[in-house]
Structures are given as structure tokens and as C-alpha cells.
Amino acid sequence: MAWKPISERDFSALLREEIAQLDSEGRELNEAYSIQPVTMLIAHAPGAAPDPVFVVARSGTVVVYYDDVEEEFATGRVVTEGAIEGLSLFGALNWALRGLLSSA
């Protein structure tokens, strides 16, 4: 079966579930750094065509986004507005939010 990007509807449901599972530190980080989800592009391999991802938190140029190829939340760095590079996978949103600060 061919891979398909996650739909906005399915992502919204997933994000609600992840937010509901945040611990107290994760809730604080989410309140401080979350943004209205926006779509940016990331290339998963050098020379590969970029894929759209949903960005959910931002601190300066460091973002938390959902990587639907790997099916986990990750951090990356905005290189030009709308484009991300670098990939640090964290699994759950709770851990990716902590990675937002350690990657800054």
C-alpha cells in the first residue's frame, strides 16, 4: 500500500489526543510555545522531494511538527519560512515539546 499524507482531519484528532495526554510540564510547554497548526515542508532525505508536515509549536527557528512518515512528533529548524531541515524524532508530543527547548 502506498503512503499517503495524514489528512488535516485525522491530524486534528491525533493532536487532541496527544494534548490530552500531556503531563504538567508538557501542558506548560504547550501553553507557552504552541501555535495554530501550520503546514511547512521537510525533505526526509538529501535530494528527496519535500513532504508537508504540520507544525504545532515554535521557539525562534526551532519547531515541533508531526512527521507522518515516521508517525511521531519531531523537532527541526526553520531554514526559510515554510521549510524545515534537521530531524530529531521524539515520539509523543509530550517529549517533543521538551526537545523544543533542548534544540534551541
- Taking residue 74's Cβ as centre, other Cβ atoms within 10 Å add up to 23
**pLDDT tens for the chain, residues 1 to 104:** 677 889 999 999 999 999 999 999 999 999 999 999 999 999 877 788 888 999 999 999 999 999 998 899 999 999 988 889 888 999 999 999 999 988 76
CA distance 35 to 46: 28
The partner residues of 40 in beta bridges, in order of sequence, read 53
- Report which secondary-structure segment, H or E, holds 8: helix 8-20
What DSSP assignment string belongs to 44-58? Answer: SSTTPPPEEEEEEEE
CA distance 1 to 35: 33
Query: Does the pTM of the predicted model rise above 0.85?
Result: yes
